[in-house]
Amino acid sequence: MTVHRRLLDRDPAYRQRREEIENLTLARKRARSRGRTGTTLVPVVVHVVHSNLSQNISAEQVASQIAVLNEDFAGRNADLISVPPVWRDALGNGRIVFDLADRDPSGAATTGITRTSTSTAAFGDDDAVKFAGAGGADAWPADRYLNMWVCHLHDLLGYAQFPGGPAQTDGVVIDYRAFGTIGTAEAPFHLGRSATHEVGHWLNLFHIWGDDGLGCAGTDHVDDTPNQAGPNTGVPGFPRVTCGNAPHGDMFVNFMDYVDDRSMVMFTVGQVERMHAALDAARPSFPVMAPQTDPPSGWVHTDLTLAAGAPDAAGKPVVAIQSDGKLSVLYLGVDHHIHALQAK
Ligand SMILES: [Zn+2]
């Protein structure tokens, strides 16, 4: 919110863009839009900015964070089971897939991870980490990549820029001790939820309590999240009643609260619609892929990744093979598995 208010103060173009995005979002809500159909693909670049060896986190730790994003933004996280039954109907599936970039902005092959050594011991929310000239790493084009910076942050787990801001600072910043689920990740922020929360902001979600301090007048502009006084922390017990929201109370299991990683497990349907409106209004270049459908008649489908001894999914090949007069097509699915379609 500090970054948001700073941009509102200093950048009239941001103020204008924010208004346009909120107007489109409101129009969608009034039209009862259910959001984008199909799955949205978001290529990710992770900029690791380190001042010592431990901050230079492993590729495996980065992959563990991408895996969490793919579960949380698809409603596939195993801990969804902890959602109190009263909110099961409100569960939203974000239908967003995050994929480490395999091409850099110039088209060269990449792991989707950049590594920068810095003499800055700790960064704040002043965006220095986003500029090579200030001890950080420059953003990749924000219309083609979600930029994630991982560094040592003092006093915060992470922060994000809402849609509508300058491309050079677009993305999220996460502390290296709150990123991914292995390596330097430290309890209670060791389940990758800081990034889930910040990417929620990057897709225009506000905090669930409405950012009005501890009052009951603020709103997150989402209808299926209960009105809530202030942030919850730690691991709250159900119900936690504030602002006359009895009997069910605050939805502290929501990713946009401030609770420990193991307590935040869900987005709502309304939050998903808001994120999809933001994609259309401010991030339209991230493509929607058609929903996975049954193979056309006359074709047999096989998931090769699930078959024993399958090759790793690398790149996005679409290969057609003609063998014994039969045609096979190999492709990388939105689920990151290699699939084969073979003519009967
Ligand atoms: Zn936040």
3-state secondary structure labels for all residues of 132-149: HHHCCCCCCCCCCCEEEE
Residue 307 has pLDDT above 70, yes or no: no
pLDDT at site 344: 78
State the distance from the centre of ligand 1 to the C-alpha of 323, rounded, in angstroms: 54
Q: Which of 22, 60, 198, 273 does the annotation list as catalytic? A: 198
Residue 206 has pLDDT above 80, yes or no: yes
State the distance from the centre of ligand 1 to the C-alpha of 273, rounded, in angstroms: 19
pLDDT at site 314: 46
Mean predicted confidence (pLDDT) in 226-233: 97
- Tens digits of residue pLDDT in 74-98: 999 999 999 999 999 999 999 999 9
pLDDT band at 313 (very low <50, low <70, confident <90, very high): very low
In angstroms, the CA 30 to CA 48 distance is: 41
State the distance from the centre of ligand 1 to the C-alpha of 98, rounded, in angstroms: 20
Residue 52 has pLDDT above 80, yes or no: yes
| Cα distances (angstroms) measured from residue 333 to each of 42, 145, 303, 305, 314 | 14, 19, 9, 10, 11
Residue 106 has pLDDT above 90, yes or no: yes
pLDDT at site 130: 98
pLDDT at site 301: 77
Per-chain mean pLDDT for the chain = 92
pLDDT at site 335: 60
In angstroms, the CA 138 to CA 246 distance is: 47
pLDDT at site 174: 98
State the distance from the centre of ligand 1 to the C-alpha of 179, rounded, in angstroms: 15
Catalytic residue at 273? no
Percent of the chain's residues with pLDDT above 90: 80
pLDDT band at 316 (very low <50, low <70, confident <90, very high): low
Q: What is the reported pTM?
A: 0.86
State the distance from the centre of ligand 1 to the C-alpha of 43, rounded, in angstroms: 22
State the distance from the centre of ligand 1 to the C-alpha of 174, rounded, in angstroms: 11
Q: Do residues 339 and 307 touch, judged by C-beta distance below 8 A?
A: no
Task: Catalogue all structural domains in the chain, each as residue range(s) with its CATH number.
Answer: 2-282 (3.40.390.10), 295-343 (no CATH)
| Residue 334 backbone class (left: φ over 0; alpha: ψ -120 to 50; beta: rest) | alpha
Which residue type sits at 135?
A: G
- Alpha carbons within 13 angstroms on the beta-carbon side of residue 85 total 0
Across 16-20, 32-36, 51-55, 294-298, least confident range: 294-298
* Among 293, 82, 51, 91, CA closest to 175: 51
State the distance from the centre of ligand 1 to the C-alpha of 220, rounded, in angstroms: 12
State the distance from the centre of ligand 1 to the C-alpha of 169, rounded, in angstroms: 17
Bigger pLDDT: 152 or 340? 152
Q: Do residues 182 and 62 touch, judged by C-beta distance below 8 A?
A: no
pLDDT band at 257 (very low <50, low <70, confident <90, very high): very high
State the distance from the centre of ligand 1 to the C-alpha of 191, rounded, in angstroms: 16
pLDDT band at 51 (very low <50, low <70, confident <90, very high): very high
